[in-house]
Amino acid sequence: MTEERNAPLERSAPDARRLVVKIGSKSLTAAQGRFAQIASQIAALKAQGRSVIVVSSGAIAMGRQRLGFSKRPTDIGELQACAAVGQSLLMRAWDEALSPHTLTAAQILLTHADLSDRERWLNGRAAIDALLELGAVPIINENDTVAVEEIKFGDNDQLAAMVATLVGADLLVLLTDVEGLLDAGGQRVSVVSDLAAAHALVGKSEGDVGTGGMGSKLDACRRATRRGIPAIIADARDGSTLASIVAGEDVGTLFLPDGTKLPSRKHWIAYTLRPRGTILLDAGAVSALKTGKSLLPKGVVGVRGDFAPGDAVALAGPDGAEVGRGLSRYSTADIARLAGANTKDIAGLLGFHGGDEIVHRDDLVVA
């Protein structure tokens, strides 16, 4: 999974011209002056000619404090209220931290729907590009005030990975309150090239490590590396972390891209769109998909969910495990009628022919 901990590393960070830096609520609010500390590091990166996009948590935490909640509320309406109050406080904090460096903070609030719609995806990328050209520092957060699902299930680690692919970042940095991924003995792992092995470490390391938090960060690193973007989990508490990263020093845990880089559209299908249902496959179909074939009706044994042609779907094998994702050419009801059929029978069964494939290989990503 890793190289030797103290071995010389071939780190690509010194060449990174566009970075996405994510910092969570706990890391931002753990100590006085944390906004200023990170702003100073951002200013140093920009002085080197690099662009920095920040994915910042903290709105709900700051709004909760201002509204007088003793602990994080569980009611959705109260969470939305905290987010509404906290967004202005969060942006004020970033503006006050960046202003001494003559840098301008630019707020961008996103929902998952903004990134799952291809046209809005492209418009968002153009807007961020324009802000970077003007020298601003985009501060991105989920729009928790209106995005109920994002409050309940949302995760800024995942958002940061999506933003990294959106803007064509050269590096994703996830700042947290530990020095990186820790091994079973509590020692920092320097480099990861096998994410499956890394996941096995989550929850087994010694020290104050949040299992869910680190697991989410590993998922975000997988999203980024599948697009060819290296990612680093590093310590937010160290005021020189970002400088050390771009200098190529051995800090944090570096996750290296592994395997073939997914094209932008296929990455969007696999890691941005949310499946609206699941198509169940037989063993033969699973084998065919792994060799680059399309999904034909013959290999379908069942279907779940409620989706229309063009919607994203998950593909599951006989054991129920997900083997891929893609865009369906047929609806739930149509696929139920076509399950196990030959392609020559499609028109007779449905009264129309929408293509021989249930999911074409051009619209398919195998896990």
DSSP three-state, residue 164? helix
| Whole-number Å distance between alpha carbons of 297 and 345 | 10
Per-residue confidence (pLDDT) for residue 3, from 0 to 100: 46
Per-residue confidence (pLDDT) for residue 367, from 0 to 100: 84
User: Span 275-366: which CATH code?
Assistant: 2.30.130.10
User: Span 13-264: which CATH code?
Assistant: 3.40.1160.10
Q: What is the pTM of this model?
A: 0.85
| Whole-number Å distance between alpha carbons of 349 and 271 | 33
pLDDT in tens, the chain (367 residues): 544 443 334 555 678 999 999 998 888 887 789 999 999 999 999 999 999 999 999 999 999 989 999 888 888 889 889 999 999 999 999 999 999 999 999 999 998 888 888 889 889 999 999 999 999 999 999 888 776 654 444 588 999 999 999 999 999 999 998 999 998 888 999 999 888 888 888 764 444 333 348 888 999 999 999 999 999 999 999 999 999 999 989 999 999 887 778 998 899 999 989 999 999 999 999 999 999 999 999 999 999 999 999 999 999 999 999 999 999 999 999 999 999 999 999 999 999 999 999 999 999 999 8
Could you give the C-alpha distances from 324 to 131, 269, 270, 308, in angstroms and in order?
36, 10, 8, 18
Count CB-CB contacts under 10 A for residue 365. Answer: 20
Per-residue confidence (pLDDT) for residue 29, from 0 to 100: 81
| Pick from 183, 250, 192: nearest CA to 218 | 192
Given a contact cutoff of 8 angstroms between Cβ atoms, the answer to whether 308 and 354 are in contact is no
Per-residue confidence (pLDDT) for residue 113, from 0 to 100: 83
Domain spans in the chain, listed from the N-terminal domain onward: 13-264, 275-366
93 Cβ neighbours under 8 A, 6+ residues apart: 35, 58, 62
